[in-house]
């Protein structure tokens, strides 16, 4: 049996049949296939077919009811975000009152840092990974400036050991044991956007707390990718976007988690807005805020319904399938693709080899990164993602990627890298 037949056979017998039919697959930009092999879901997920219906229903209610849609629509807008609460909680391993759908990722990180980054005395440092997504770097630097501190002295960027690609959990723990008395906030990415490394969030959170630091997580590349247990891991706060693995559309409304010990603590400072007051008295229009004992207390403005509808459509898919089943299939797909890529000349896999230490992403170091990504699309119908100067990211997302897709990208890279020699 050749590689292509084997890939098709693996698709036929997989315990979780593909949900590819529930998504709109882009046409192949080039090559012999009609549909693209889409490996950029870690950058922007594909559109569920249900999304258009959800949006159309809200537009229809707006047309029919006008302002009364807040209370009379099929999904009344006044408490629309409540529809996302329990699915979001199940997705990230939280209690329902610990999560809220609001804003975008970096806005939520700023709101969290406004509450939980409290530099005092020698405890002023913010710790991130050196290869953090740029927005996180900018955000923490601006928070330092906001507090009158020098980012060059305040922001600590953890780097892997010389010659290595990934942060070792033991090295993070050792740093915290040694320097933790200076750390006010530890805020890492749950899955590193560049290398695809999955952090040991439970162990690192514990080490951060032992050191006396607040621990928050950027879950942009983790939510919808790997199972999470934020409440049980005792995470202080977390934020995630919904347009990558969660397929809610470009710039979609993000999610936020605040541990219940904080949501029940009225002394926690926060930036406030109208929608952060108790919904039971919100429309009394009182001048003083009465925040609820939930993550809703961090809301500022009324939810954007047309932006929440695609999030609801997505969350319902994840609720139906379940993260454990998706994680199992992700391991099968990613393991298959990794095995196919190892012998390809000129390709260096920089994602951890262990399945336990990676999500649904493989990062490759290759020459002529951008040119290679362009040729993958134009000549083979494979849509991938380039990160300068020398990394291609491939995300075999289990909801809509197949073993045959993985076969296609492995064959394409074999051909193209041979032509570069």
Does 3-35+322-420 match 55-319 in CATH topology? no
pLDDT tens per residue across span 179-221? 999 999 999 999 999 999 999 999 999 999 999 999 999 999 9
- Token pair 């992700």 is found at 330
Is 218 marked within a binding site? yes
Task: Say if CB 160 and CB 167 are below 8 A apart.
Answer: yes
- For residue 394, the cross-strand partners are 362
Q: How many CA atoms lie within 13 A of 377 on its CB side?
A: 17
Residue 105 is labelled as binding a ligand: yes
| Whether the Cβ atoms of residue 280 and residue 261 lie closer than 8 Å to each other | no
192 is in an annotated binding site: no
- SS3 of 148-211: CCCHHHHEEEECCCCCCCCCCHHHHHHHHHHHHHHEEEEEEECECCCCCEECCHHHHHHHHHHC
* Residue recorded with tokens 């009379």: 72
Query: How many helices (H) does the chain have, and how many strands (E)?
Result: 14, 15
User: Which tokens go with 409?
Assistant: 């990208």
Strands of 190-332, DSSP E: 214-218, 237-240, 255-258
Question: What pLDDT score was predicted for residue 421?
Answer: 62
pLDDT at residue 418, rounded to an integer: 84
Cα–Cα distance, 239 to 101 (Å, whole number):
10
Peptide bond into 321 cis (omega under 30): no
Return the closest-CA partner of residue 40 out of 328, 327, 244: 244
C-beta of residue 388 within 8 angstroms of C-beta of residue 363: no
The reply to whether 333 sits in an annotated binding site is: no
Angle between helices 305-321 and 323-341 (to 10 degrees): 80
According to the model, what pLDDT value does residue 1 have? Answer: 60
Task: Yes or no: say if 46 and 24 are a contact pair by the CB < 8 Å rule.
Answer: yes
> What's the CATH fold of domain 55-319?
3.40.640
**365: three-class secondary structure by DSSP:** strand
Backbone angles phi, psi at 258, to 5 degrees: -130, 125
Q: What is the pLDDT of residues 112-138, one digit of tens each?
A: 999 999 999 999 999 999 999 999 999
CA-based nearest residue to 396, from 365, 355, 368, 367? 355
Q: Establish whether 106 is an annotated binding residue.
A: yes
What is the percent of the chain with per-residue pLDDT over 70, rounded to a whole number?
99
pLDDT confidence of 352, banded at 50, 70, 90?
very high
Token pair 């700023």 is found at 110
What does the CA dihedral 206, 207, 212, 215 come to, rounded to 10 degrees? -60
β-pair type (362-365, 348-349) = antiparallel
Give CA separation, 302 vs 20, 146, 273, 285, 405, in Å: 34, 27, 9, 14, 41
> pLDDT tier at 2 (50, 70, 90 boundaries)?
confident
Q: Label the pairing between strands 214-218 and 237-240.
A: parallel
CATH match for 3-35+322-420 among 3.90.1150.10, 3.30.497.10, 3.90.550.10, 3.40.50.1100:
3.90.1150.10
Q: Dihedral of CA 388/392/398/401: which sign?
A: positive
169, two tokens: 């959990």
The CA distance from 169 to 359, in Å, is 16
Would you say residue 367 has pLDDT above 90?
no
Q: Is residue 209 annotated as involved in ligand binding?
A: no
Render pLDDT for 64-108 as a digit per residue (tens, 0 to 9): 999 999 999 999 999 999 999 999 999 999 999 999 999 999 999
- Average pLDDT estimate for 301-326: 97
State yes or no: 221 annotated in a binding site.
yes
pLDDT tens readout for residues 147-187: 999 999 999 999 999 999 999 999 999 999 999 999 999 99
Give the 3-state secondary structure of residue 83: helix
Give the domain ranges of the chain.
3-35+322-420, 55-319
Rounded to 10°, the helix 403-420/369-380 angle is 120
Tell me which H or E stretch contains 409: helix 403-420
């Amino acid at each position: 049996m050749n590689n292509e037949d084997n890939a098709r056979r693996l698709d036929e017998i997989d315990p979780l049949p593909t949900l590819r039919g529930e998504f709109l697959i882009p046409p192949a930009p080039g090559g012999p296939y009609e549909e693209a092999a889409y490996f950029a879901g870690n950058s922007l997920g594909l559109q569920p077919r249900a999304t258009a219906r959800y949006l159309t229903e809200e537009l229809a209610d707006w047309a029919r009811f006008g302002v009364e849609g807040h209370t009379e629509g099929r999904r009344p807008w006044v408490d629309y975000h409540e529809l996302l609460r329990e699915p979001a909680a199940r997705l990230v391993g939280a209690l329902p009152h610990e999560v809220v759908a609001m804003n975008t990722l970096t806005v939520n990180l700023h709101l969290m840092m406004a509450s939980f980054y409290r530099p005092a005395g020698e405890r002023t440092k913010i710790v991130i990974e050196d290869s953090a997504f740029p927005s996180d770097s900018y955000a923490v630097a601006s928070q330092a400036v906001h507090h009158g501190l020098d980012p060059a002295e305040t922001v600590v960027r953890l780097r892997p050991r010389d010659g290595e690609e990934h942060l070792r959990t033991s090295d993070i723990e050792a740093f915290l044991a040694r320097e933790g008395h200076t750390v006010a906030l530890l805020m890492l990415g749950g899955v590193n956007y560049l290398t695809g490394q999955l952090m040991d969030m439970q162990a690192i959170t514990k080490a951060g707390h032992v050191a006396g630091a607040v621990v928050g997580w950027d879950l942009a590349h983790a939510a919808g990718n790997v199972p999470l247990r934020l409440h049980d891991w005792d995470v202080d706060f977390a934020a995630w976007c919904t347009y990558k693995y969660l397929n809610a559309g470009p710039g979609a409304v993000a999610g936020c988690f605040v541990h219940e010990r904080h949501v029940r603590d009225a002394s926690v400072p926060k930036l406030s807005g109208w929608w952060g007051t108790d919904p039971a008295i919100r429309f009394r229009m009182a001048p003083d805020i009465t925040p609820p004992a939930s993550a809703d207390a961090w809301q500022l403005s009324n939810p954007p319904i047309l932006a929440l509808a695609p999030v609801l459509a997505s969350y319902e898919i994840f609720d139906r399938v379940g993260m454990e089943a998706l994680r199992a299939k992700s391991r099968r797909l990613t393991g298959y693709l990794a095995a196919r890529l190892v012998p390809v000349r000129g390709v260096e896999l920089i994602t951890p080899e262990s399945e336990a230490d990676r999500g649904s992403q493989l990062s490759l170091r290759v020459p002529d990164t951008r040119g290679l990504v362009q040729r993958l699309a134009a000549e083979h119908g494979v849509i991938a993602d380039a990160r300068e100067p020398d990394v291609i990211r491939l995300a075999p997302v289990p909801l809509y990627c197949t073993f045959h897709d993985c076969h296609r990208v492995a064959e394409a890279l074999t051909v193209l890298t041979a032509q570069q020699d």
